[in-house]
Amino acid sequence: MAVQIDQKYTDLQACCACLGFVDENVYKVDADAPASIRSILRYLRYESSSCDIRRELGSMKILVSDLIPLLKVSKSDPVLFDLAVRLMVSLTQPAVVCFRNEIPTDRDLYAAFLKVDSILKSYKQAFADEDLFRVLAERVEYVFNKDWDERSDDDRLMIERILILIRNVLHISPDRSTEHRTDEDVSIHDQLLWTIHLSGWDDILLFLANAQDERGVFAFHILEIVSLMLREQTPEQLASAGKKAKIDDPHSQILERFHLREQEQKRAALTEFNMRHNRFGGTFELLGTQSISSRPLIYHHDVTAPLRRNHLGSGKNQKSISAIGQVDLNLGKQIRRKAVNRKPLIEREHHRRSILSVQLFLQKFCWEFLQNCYNLLMASARSAIMRQSTQANDETYY
């Protein structure tokens, strides 16, 4: 079995070596490059559940050293260009998709999942290349210049693969362990957004979202790309980008001081209200809640005290407090802590303030998108959802 695995990796390395080479800063495409890419795609199609082929290609850095330079020089060869885009789409798909849309619980598979995720994070820096996105934009514009009747299914698939490639690259999460970026600092995601702007892809996305024929086909891909472009931004930051900070109004400062003083008075009144020791709180019956017997449940502390304190702090009267039917049965119980290695994974949203040029670009893009494309695009998406006709290669649930 070990000999078979070594033979498979040897064939894979031979295929990667037949893609091409760099000669005086110019990438020379090998004559066997199309056949080699087809063989690599076949290996990826039949890889194991641990994504061994994908991890091996990531360790060889084939995407950075071969595929991106090959794509730049293969504009005149549509067959080779299509094969290179297909391989790049397969290599950049999210790690969760590679593991059947779920994070593996097995220890070995989870280690493989982390390895694939780290490989994807290393790919994102390589895609911040203006020449690469210009080549992709020129290919899409070449298809758009054709009449609708002259376009073939291969042209539509080419546009869809390019959109999926951009979506996959934008979907890669930032590596916070190595990328220590503060606010208003250039991150890898900001570099990628600026590359999209310089290559003209923002105008292409607006055209796709506004054109009737294209909108019905690529609606979900456009929505995913736009949402991933704005993944680290907040509406407040984009709306206030480029505007000077307002000078604080003295009248508002006076109102804020009055509000703080009122909060302190309520807190002092609440402290006086709770001066009684809790050991002499008496016995309470919970009406409507049966115990083991047929009698009401008995508690030796007031389970409505937290709610009464909250309502007292909010300024409500005693009648509304007495009408509360909710109780807190967890009051006084000891909370059992869960081990760190058994806690569920929580994906927290990461927001940061980008540099001013990126904020202004996103602000202008959002304004044009909302003004010209939003209603039309959402109508197409709603129509597709109502008909239950999801688009192909759409792994993100909208």
Per-residue confidence (pLDDT) for residue 255, from 0 to 100: 80
If 0-12 CB within 10 Å is exposed, 13-18 middle and 19+ buried, where does residue 173 land? middle
Whether 59 is covered by a domain: the verdict is yes
- Decide which of 88, 112, 127 is a domain's last residue: 127
Tell me: do 27 and 72 sit in the same domain.
yes
* Encoded tokens for 329: 């049965």
Whether 172 is covered by a domain: the verdict is yes
Q: Give the model's confidence band at 322: pLDDT under 50 very low, under 70 low, under 90 confident, else very high.
A: very low
Per-residue confidence (pLDDT) for residue 9, from 0 to 100: 79
Domain of 170 in residue numbering reads as 154-239+352-397
Tell me: do 6 and 123 sit in the same domain.
yes
Select from 110, 123, 120 the least CA-distant residue to 49: 110
Per-residue confidence (pLDDT) for residue 326, from 0 to 100: 59
Q: Give the model's confidence band at 281: pLDDT under 50 very low, under 70 low, under 90 confident, else very high.
A: low
Helix axes 356-372, 201-210, angle to 10 degrees: 20
Tell me: do 11 and 107 sit in the same domain.
yes
Q: Are 68 and 24 in contact (CB under 8 A)?
A: no
Per-residue confidence (pLDDT) for residue 248, from 0 to 100: 54
Tell me: do 120 and 59 sit in the same domain.
yes
Tell me: do 66 and 180 sit in the same domain.
no
Tell me: do 374 and 231 sit in the same domain.
yes
**Among 239-248, 306-315, 364-373, 374-383, which stretch is predicted with the lowest mean pLDDT?**
306-315
Res 14 pLDDT > 80: yes
Helix axes 153-171, 212-229, angle to 10 degrees: 10
Place of tokens 């002092």: 268
Whether 246 is covered by a domain: the verdict is no
Whether 139 is covered by a domain: the verdict is no
DSSP designation for 340: G
Tell me: do 51 and 174 sit in the same domain.
no
Res 27 pLDDT > 80: yes
- Decide which of 110, 127, 144 is a domain's last residue: 127
Select from 77, 61, 82 the least CA-distant residue to 29: 77
Q: Are 56 and 43 in contact (CB under 8 A)?
A: no
In order of 140, 146, 366, the CA distances from 149 in angstroms are: 16, 8, 32
- More confident site: 148 or 389: 148
How much is the average pLDDT of 13-25? 86
343-381 pLDDT, tens per residue? 555 555 667 778 888 889 999 999 999 998 899 888 888
Amino acid at site 286: L
CA 99 distance to own-chain centroid: 17
Per-residue confidence (pLDDT) for residue 251, from 0 to 100: 66
* Distance, CA of 359 to CA of 237 (rounded, Å): 8
How many folded domains does the chain comprise?
A: 2
Res 101 pLDDT > 60: yes
Tell me: do 115 and 163 sit in the same domain.
no
Tell me: do 54 and 199 sit in the same domain.
no
Whether 261 is covered by a domain: the verdict is no
- Percent composition of the chain: helix, strand, coil (DSSP 3-state, to 5): 60, 5, 35
Tell me: do 97 and 202 sit in the same domain.
no
Q: Report the mean per-residue pLDDT for the chain.
A: 80
Whether 89 is covered by a domain: the verdict is yes
Tell me: do 166 and 55 sit in the same domain.
no
Per-residue confidence (pLDDT) for residue 290, from 0 to 100: 73
Q: pLDDT > 70: what percent of the chain?
A: 76
Tell me: do 3 and 118 sit in the same domain.
yes
- Decide which of 127, 143, 164 is a domain's last residue: 127
Per-residue confidence (pLDDT) for residue 337, from 0 to 100: 74
Whether 74 is covered by a domain: the verdict is yes
Whether 142 is covered by a domain: the verdict is no
